[in-house]
Structure 1
């Protein structure tokens, strides 16, 4: 639903309401005064309603005042007395206000094109009900003044006002919410022009000459309603209303009605009934198009969501065959899309899980459930089993008949394998607990009696068999350094917490010291009084020794990682950072505690030579379970600015059972080496004195230009530039002055050529220039300009001024002359001719 647009400036709206209403009222009153005229066509009220309904309420009074002033002036212009002219104001004012209020409160104008029912509501509130009320007041005033009977006046008023509102209001309201450009932008505007001509020319012809003329009048409107948009149809309806209404109002239409009075009273009704169905049909077609667009958009969104979904999705036919599958499902099962399209879901389901899946499918088809979720095993193309979480729902048509299934298959194989490993670990833990010699004890607080089982006796080095000891006997076994702490924790458990979790050392009967872990719980009576402590003990000496060794190993590893010159980053299975050593912190700009838990791509912004982000090797390592190298010349974008050239390799980290635990990425800063490589590459291809291309690089560029001409056609130009009188500068001022002059001339020539051209110093005072895709005439102009610029260059050195000249030889590069060696000879020959012709010139070698 469209919102009302922002209101225009009040003075402009007042002028538009006054002028438009005045012109429409003058036209209608003039028509009603013509000989043979039957009744007036009243479009003015519909025009005012279209401009007023969405205006702020504070503007209604001035706008209504402008419209009623125009109404009064229009009647006075045709000689009506002031009382008679003023008597038309109340019914017109009532009709406008009622229509605006109904449209505003109901929102029918905003919902006009949502459905045919909404359009009928709009017509009813804007074009039917207000004229009925306004006509009642107007006909009463006419009858009271003795100008006409109430019945005739009421019918004339209703027909004229309804026809005007039905003809004008839909188009005017549509334009108020949109713009004329949308109407003119109709993609079938040639059809709009055709139907407009048919309405304007064919309508009068049908009304004047054909039987049943309103059938012919409505036919192009109905076709236009199907072919064009709503606004175009509304425009054609308005044109048909004006042309047909004028013919009827002027009394030119014949009728077969026997009663002349009824003909006069009901003459506009056929025209109104001919126009209204076209508008209704246009509204229905507009809504149909909108729903079709929404359906197309919805289908597009569904296809996009399916194609880009991270989990497997499929459309499955009632026969169980895959109708459409997405990329994620193909990757999960290892099949190509065309391979899955010839299979059914039964073909890739594990045989042990197929029966339960089919039973759930039958329940959906029978209507006993709408969807189901199931963890099941699938068969990968390689033959291995894959666990998937399947979610299935059935799509039915509007009659409830089943069409196809929508299946979502999430790869939970890693989770299921982890659960299986956890279950196996739990089973092993249970067996280990039984075999670990855990001892159970009970301490009766009232009698101070301790009861130990055989496990406790073995832990303390006592003979097997139930032992009955006291709290003091137990304390005698404790290591002296732990007694005070243990007694505090035991007392705290008795008096407060009710739970004991303690670790302590004991001296066995053979003198060996062991580390014991103990858990206990306080048992109270119904009054809350402590009765006894029940708990367990087990030997954790080996665990403590192992923990100490692991701690020492971790410290050594930490020292090693802190000391090496490479950056080291570890991640978990999801690619989230778990550790950065100091070098990695310096390279990335992240502290280890800040980066922990963040995706590796967020911590390391890797980019290639073109500035685009490159894949992080950690992802490939985790996905493939093998080592991965940072490809190409990659750099790390530092958060503080700048970049660091890197070489890196990611390797998988695995547990003792070979399961992938994460990855470790080693980064080496190669910024200095890469900068040196760039410097060496530049030095190998550029002249050290001038910074221009050197001779080998120029010869390669000339060969590239020849290949380009041979492959793609076109013309390029080679220029050989030899300085005149340069030896005099070296002889007079020395080589330092000559070198400075060469640098100045190199900068001068480089400033004159285009960005794609290639300028080089071949050696000594010889230069060469390749003008790519350059006509010969333009090359000659450039050569003349270079000669003039060089001759105008002055070198001031040790109080003297030096000038040199230049001679240029030109050779054309085209498909018939594209050999680099021959081109250089041609350009050199042309330069030789230019020198012998007097220097300071150019010559062209035509081949």
Structure 2
């Protein structure tokens, strides 16, 4: 990534600035004094700009003083006239400061080789605008001193400075950022040396002996721009400029016959034009190389992420065949990578699960869903079944055509097996309950004798027939439960409460069980207690199951609290029973506040038109099946504002299938919907002015033609072309032109009616559809628009910029309603208006 270099040691930079400028200036001045020399080549300013632009501002003054001192010495060395020599300092100083400032402020030097547009900006700021400004001041000084005319001095100065800047500045700036070693370390070093020799030999040969020499000068440069780096091409351009410029400057180029003055004035222009395309092409090739490198890096990251993923991943073709798989999927299914890519996902899917998977694939191909998740069984290489959680998404090209699927498969076989075991455990508990493994006991309070049935003996692990007392029962109590159990039994014996107890026992065989006990007191006629009769049954498995269910419920609660979607459950009447935290945030209701309220009171859902829509919970409860929130629905929040939602309601059923209620899952799609709205706007509007773009305008014109044919009405098409807009871009730059276009767009939009449609077709061309508008009124509006445009003045960097406009009108009626023909008519009328003197309109009558 290019960056401004840290400022180096000041003294070496100062010496390089002084001696570099001095040597280049001496060479240029000496060359201009040779017999037959046409004009000078001025590379010194470009070298100074390259050394100056990224230096701290506090160093600019001494560096510029060193450069201008070298300039003065170079001129005095060949001409002792101090006044004449000092006259060249102000224009050179202006050119250097302007170029270095523009490059520093705009940052164009940092990104000159990133794209053709960036390089063009670099050339404009560094090699075009500064020489033009310096030439104006320099030519004025030469004319004032009587040394030459302003026109000839200006042209000499511009050609020499621009050729020097174009030739030296790109290479010098690049070397300031990267250094000589990176240039010499280029991977095509031998090829670079070959091109260096070719340019050094070929340029003089082409200019001295070949016809159309500049074609042969530019040919190796264009080829090198494709083959070499931007820096290599810049080096070749500098060498071609130096060798070619010397030949031209010494008058050895056999140029076509023309007036001697023009020959001298335009002598370097062909060489300059043969060098620029190579640099422009090199910047474009550099941009392509960078994008290709980024694409390769992106593909490498994706491939590494896939290969090192802990879950199975595969790229699947549209025919179902596996195109690429990772190690995790191979380990899960027991195949090697080479074996898997010969199979399709149909071959690996359990037959009972294949139909549902294929149906989801058809839905995603049809565009009815973007992705899907599915628990299904896979077939291991050994033949056994493996449960996997499959997540599938479809990759499409830029035109929306499907390319391939990305599948992620998580191994959930252990979890599914555990779920099956838990289900079996629950089934066994149900069977045990039905079998009524209950023990019945009786305690004679007078004799302290316990009577147990066989069920009780089995529960406690004792031999049937043993005579027992209360003390024997107490020995089976778990030490941690003994005190509590005795206290509750004795309280029941006193008649103060019924016995309903759960406690742990230690069986005779050493096992531990959890029992549940119920009992009631039997009294005589006087109310005196006689005995206590009760039951015990084993709830050990029920306790374990309850603990697991409690843990599962806790995990479910944590999951509902953590997921990014809102979850709401209701009863059969559509009354809210639960909201997770996301649902609370979306609805503005706390879960405890919303319990028992109708779903419509908690969720105020409305459509695009602002009217309330049916809650999918009602559809789900009425139909007994899943229901979705239709259309682009939004939720009105109690605190104000709306939230774009996507909702899916599904029925909740008990084990027997009876409907218990409904669960509604809400997803906040506000950001996605806002992005879609933004993309729709960007696709139909001009990014600079905010007006309709060409494509949207052409659709509007087609619709206007259809409306005219249906209603037999009349409309007018107006084509507007700005006059002298190119001069604004050329004189003030594209930034000024863009600002002027924005102001003109707002100006014209304010003049037209609300039903009219104004568009920017591109460049400085606008078009306007005046719906149901008679021609005289359209002519008045066109004249007013032209007058308003001519009256708009933009002040930009001290300049007052104005443009004019010409307009062409044509009527849209039932006999003239072909969009393409209408555009041609309006364009023809505008062309007539321009050639009739501009600043007016013309009408094409059909």
Matched, 1:380 2:380: yes
- Cross-structure match for 1:184: 184
- Cross-structure match for 1:60: 60
| Displacement of 1:269 | 1.3
Matched, 1:113 2:109: no
CA distance in 1 between counterparts of 2:539 and 2:128 reads 96
Matched, 1:319 2:319: yes
| Displacement of 1:412 | 1.9
- Cross-structure match for 1:394: 394
| Displacement of 1:207 | 0.6
Matched, 1:250 2:250: yes
CA gap of 1:355–1:93, structure 2 versus 1, over 3 A, is: farther
- Cross-structure match for 2:287: 287
- Cross-structure match for 2:525: none
| Displacement of 1:538 | 11
Secondary structure in structure 2 of the residue aligned to 1:324: strand
Secondary structure in structure 2 of the residue aligned to 1:403: strand
* Pairing of 1:79-228 with structure 2 (within 5 A): 79=79, 81-228=81-228
Alpha carbons 2:5, 2:177 under 8 Å: kept: yes
CA distance in 1 between counterparts of 2:100 and 2:114 reads 20
CA distance in 1 between counterparts of 2:350 and 2:202 reads 73
Secondary structure in structure 1 of the residue aligned to 2:23: helix
CA distance in 2 between counterparts of 1:345 and 1:243 reads 67
User: Deviation digits for residues 425-446 of structure 1, max 9, x if unmatched?
Assistant: 56666777899999xxxxxxxx
CA distance in 2 between counterparts of 1:222 and 1:233 reads 9
Alpha carbons 2:437, 2:538 under 8 Å: kept: no
Alpha carbons 1:136, 1:154 under 8 Å: kept: yes
Instruction: Give the number of aligned pairs.
Output: 474
| Displacement of 1:151 | 2.4
Secondary structure in structure 2 of the residue aligned to 1:275: helix
Alpha carbons 2:488, 2:501 under 8 Å: kept: no
CA distance in 2 between counterparts of 1:367 and 1:237 reads 54
CA gap of 1:482–1:179, structure 2 versus 1, over 3 A, is: same
| Displacement of 1:374 | 2.6
CA gap of 1:360–1:77, structure 2 versus 1, over 3 A, is: farther
CA distance in 2 between counterparts of 1:129 and 1:248 reads 24
CA distance in 1 between counterparts of 2:127 and 2:257 reads 27
CA gap of 1:416–1:160, structure 2 versus 1, over 3 A, is: farther
Alpha carbons 1:174, 1:231 under 8 Å: kept: yes
User: Deviation digits for residues 510-543 of structure 1, max 9, x if unmatched?
Assistant: xxxx97699xxxxxxxxxxxxxxxxxx9979875
Alpha carbons 2:515, 2:540 under 8 Å: kept: no
- Cross-structure match for 2:578: none
User: Deviation digits for residues 88-114 of structure 1, max 9, x if unmatched?
Assistant: 222222222222222222222221222
* Pairing of 1:234-273 with structure 2 (within 5 A): 234-256=234-256, 258-273=258-273
* Pairing of 1:668-707 with structure 2 (within 5 A): none
CA gap of 1:482–1:95, structure 2 versus 1, over 3 A, is: farther
CA distance in 1 between counterparts of 2:378 and 2:485 reads 59
* Pairing of 1:419-498 with structure 2 (within 5 A): 419-425=419-425, 481=487
- Cross-structure match for 1:347: 347
User: Deviation digits for residues 281-339 of structure 1, max 9, x if unmatched?
Assistant: 22222222233333333333333332232221222222111122222212211222222
CA distance in 2 between counterparts of 1:517 and 1:182 reads 89
- Cross-structure match for 2:403: 403
User: Deviation digits for residues 193-225 of structure 1, max 9, x if unmatched?
Assistant: 222122111111111111110000011111111
CA distance in 1 between counterparts of 2:381 and 2:515 reads 54
User: Deviation digits for residues 539-596 of structure 1, max 9, x if unmatched?
Assistant: 798759999xxxxxxxxxxxxxxxxxxxxxxxxxxxxxxxxxxxxxxxxxxxxxxxxx
| Displacement of 1:64 | 1.6
- Cross-structure match for 2:330: 330
| Displacement of 1:406 | 2.2
Matched, 1:78 2:78: yes
Identify which range, 2-11 or 368-377, moves more after superposition: 368-377
| Displacement of 1:77 | 1.9
Identify which range, 340-349 or 182-191, moves more after superposition: 182-191
CA gap of 1:483–1:103, structure 2 versus 1, over 3 A, is: farther
Alpha carbons 1:437, 1:538 under 8 Å: kept: no
Secondary structure in structure 2 of the residue aligned to 1:377: strand
CA gap of 1:540–1:32, structure 2 versus 1, over 3 A, is: farther
CA gap of 1:225–1:545, structure 2 versus 1, over 3 A, is: closer
CA distance in 2 between counterparts of 1:544 and 1:343 reads 46
CA gap of 1:54–1:336, structure 2 versus 1, over 3 A, is: same
| Displacement of 1:237 | 0.7
CA distance in 1 between counterparts of 2:400 and 2:10 reads 56
Alpha carbons 2:429, 2:542 under 8 Å: kept: no
- Cross-structure match for 1:358: 358
CA distance in 1 between counterparts of 2:46 and 2:383 reads 76
* Pairing of 1:13-28 with structure 2 (within 5 A): 13-28=13-28
Alpha carbons 1:482, 1:504 under 8 Å: kept: no
User: Deviation digits for residues 84-139 of structure 1, max 9, x if unmatched?
Assistant: 32222222222222222222222222212222222222222222222222222222
Alpha carbons 1:378, 1:386 under 8 Å: kept: yes
CA gap of 1:195–1:417, structure 2 versus 1, over 3 A, is: same
* Pairing of 1:701-716 with structure 2 (within 5 A): none
CA distance in 2 between counterparts of 1:168 and 1:484 reads 108
* Pairing of 1:654-673 with structure 2 (within 5 A): none
Alpha carbons 2:485, 2:501 under 8 Å: kept: no
User: Deviation digits for residues 32-80 of structure 1, max 9, x if unmatched?
Assistant: 2222222211111110111111112221222122112211222222225
| Displacement of 1:353 | 2.6
| Displacement of 1:4 | 2.1
| Displacement of 1:409 | 1.7
CA gap of 1:403–1:546, structure 2 versus 1, over 3 A, is: closer
Alpha carbons 2:516, 2:539 under 8 Å: kept: no
| Displacement of 1:190 | 2.3
- Cross-structure match for 2:511: none
Alpha carbons 1:103, 1:122 under 8 Å: kept: yes
Q: Unaligned 5+ residue runs, structure 1?
A: 439-476, 491-500, 507-513, 519-536, 548-847
CA gap of 1:432–1:300, structure 2 versus 1, over 3 A, is: same
CA distance in 2 between counterparts of 1:143 and 1:46 reads 25
| RMSD of aligned alpha carbons | 3.7
Matched, 1:306 2:306: yes
| Displacement of 1:478 | 8.8
CA gap of 1:543–1:322, structure 2 versus 1, over 3 A, is: closer
Alpha carbons 1:478, 1:505 under 8 Å: kept: no
Secondary structure in structure 1 of the residue aligned to 2:111: coil
CA gap of 1:505–1:200, structure 2 versus 1, over 3 A, is: closer
